[in-house]
């Protein structure tokens, strides 16, 4: 984070976290407060909790707003531009560190929506189904755009907008790892708190995770393509002590509708309209390995 970005963030948060000077307590300057840990443990703990909560509350409407149909359309357009995958409104992934961070990510590695706090012992499909995103999907209240024809392929008919996900989720046809994996990689590279187990209570862990996710969006919104070098990431999370990938579940069978959509995309991606120049070379490399 640059000095300018820090100053902007401080200006947003200061009215909400700055204490008033009284006859009994000298005001702690926030610039010094945030750069020094020469304070009591309880003071630091309260400061971290309050600051994390206010980071989330003051930034979420700007940097992680509730997705609208226009946001979904923009997300789908960017995913097609960046990753040659049409009709996709995000990539879903999750990591666990006793509690779960479930995240929907866009083409620029920004968090579209997150769900924090499900316990890691729950099944992966159950975590998604019980999340706010999963419940909204079941109630059909996500404001997802109506089905569209795939680019230059009217013969395939109109296709639903989809979420692509890791195989740990019951979205079996839609497996795409790199985008969401890179988003988690950016998160762990920016915030060293994820390099070791969080030795805090679950409520504070929730606040820390939400604050770091919204800060990632804040930083990428301000400097996308610069600080994070665009789409050049290919992270290895081997040194990550806090975040652990979901395990592959058993018994997550795709529905007939999902199988049909998967087959439609299969036809599209091997057709002149949907194929990309390098895909067959990539398949040959994978088959050899």
| Full DSSP string of 191-233 | -GGGGS---S-HHHHHHHHHHHHHHHHHHHHHHTTTTT-TT--
Q: Mean pLDDT of successive 10-residue segments in the chain (289 residues)? A: 88 84 51 59 80 96 95 96 93 77 92 80 66 84 93 94 73 57 89 86 90 95 52 48 50 70 92 86 60
Long-range (24+ apart) CB contacts under 8 A made by 9-13 are 9/55, 9/218, 10/34, 12/58, 12/59, 13/51, 13/54, 13/55, 13/58
Q: How far is CA 36 from the centre of its chain?
A: 30
Q: Radius of gyration over alpha carbons of the chain, in Å?
A: 21
Predicted local distance difference test score (pLDDT) of residue 201: 84
Residues 148 and 75 sit within 8 Å (Cβ to Cβ): no
Q: What is the pTM of this model?
A: 0.79
Q: Strand, coil or helix: what is 22?
A: strand
CA distances from 237 to 10, 233, 240 (A): 31, 12, 5
CA distance 190 to 39: 24
Handedness of CA 204, 205, 208, 214 (dihedral sign): negative
Predicted local distance difference test score (pLDDT) of residue 45: 76
Predicted local distance difference test score (pLDDT) of residue 248: 46
């Amino acid at each position: 984070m640059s000095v300018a970005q820090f100053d902007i963030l401080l200006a947003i948060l200061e009215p909400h976290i700055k204490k008033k000077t009284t006859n009994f307590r000298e005001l702690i300057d926030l610039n010094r407060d945030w750069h020094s840990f020469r304070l009591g443990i309880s003071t630091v703990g309260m400061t971290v909790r309050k600051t994390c909560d206010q980071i989330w509350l003051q930034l979420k409407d700007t940097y992680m707003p509730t997705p609208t149909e226009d946001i979904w359309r923009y997300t789908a357009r960017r995913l097609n531009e960046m990753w040659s995958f049409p009709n996709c409104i995000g990539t879903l992934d999750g990591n666990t560190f006793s509690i779960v961070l479930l995240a929907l990510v866009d083409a620029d590695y920004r968090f579209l929506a997150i769900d924090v706090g499900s316990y890691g012992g729950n099944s992966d499909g159950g975590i998604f189904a019980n999340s706010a995103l999963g419940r909204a999907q079941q109630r059909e209240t996500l404001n997802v755009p109506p089905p569209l024809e795939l680019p230059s392929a009217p013969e395939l008919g109109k296709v639903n907008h989809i979420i692509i996900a890791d195989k740990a989720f019951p979205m079996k046809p839609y497996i795409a790892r790199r985008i969401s994996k890179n988003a988690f990689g950016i998160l762990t590279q920016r915030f060293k708190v994820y390099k070791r187990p969080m030795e805090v209570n679950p409520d504070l862990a929730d606040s820390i995770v939400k604050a770091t996710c919204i800060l990632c969006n804040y930083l990428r919104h301000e400097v996308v393509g610069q600080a994070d070098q665009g789409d050049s990431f290919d992270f290895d999370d081997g040194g990550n002590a806090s975040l652990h990938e979901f395990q592959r579940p058993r018994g997550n069978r795709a529905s007939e509708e999902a199988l049909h959509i998967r087959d439609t995309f299969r036809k599209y991606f091997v057709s002149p309209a949907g194929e990309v120049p390098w895909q067959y070379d990539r398949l040959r490399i994978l088959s050899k390995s």
